[in-house]
Amino acid sequence: MMSIKNKVQLIGHAGQDSEIVDLESGKKVARVSIAVNEDYKNANGEKQTRTEWFNLVAWNSVATIFENYVQKGKKIAIEGKLTSRSYEDKGGTKRYVTEVLVNEVLLLSNKESE
């Protein structure tokens, strides 16, 4: 049997400008959410669009690409893997987060094409 991997590929539009943090260690992290649209037909045969939002996290050189080129509305393709984590909020409630850890990004729109 082929090896099964944790791999995610998405194409969508950035929901906001990339949030960039330069860490004291010298590493850089970028965070942005993207909207991915899926078209389908409902029971009446009418075209519908469903939008799913995904939170992306990129580190170092990939984060630099996000910092320089990914702003709200830009269309991008990404490849990465799903990651999960939990934390306690200020009220002491445990929260769970699932994100896509991006290892590749392809810019699909630029100023000339928008």
Taking only the tens place, the pLDDT of each residue in 9-52 is: 999 999 999 999 999 999 999 999 999 999 999 999 999 999 99
> Can you tell me the distance from the alpha carbon of 9 to that of 102, in angstroms, rounded to the nearest whole number?
9
Residue 111 has pLDDT above 60, yes or no: no
Residue 1 has pLDDT above 80, yes or no: no
- The number of folded domains in the chain is 1
Q: What CATH code is carried by the domain that includes residue 107? A: 2.40.50.140
Instruction: Round to the nearest angstrom and report the end-to-end CA distance of the chain.
Output: 44
Domain range enclosing 23? 8-40+48-113
Residue 113 has pLDDT above 90, yes or no: no
Tally of CB atoms within 10 A around 36: 13
Residue 112 has pLDDT above 70, yes or no: no
Candidates 99, 102, 108; CA nearest to 28 is 102
Does 74 reside within a domain?
A: yes
Provide the whole-model pTM: 0.85
Residues with Cβ within 8 Å of residue 42, at least 6 apart in sequence: 48
Does 33 reside within a domain?
A: yes
DSSP 31-66: EEEEEEEEEEE-TTS-EEEEEEEEEEEEEHHHHHHH
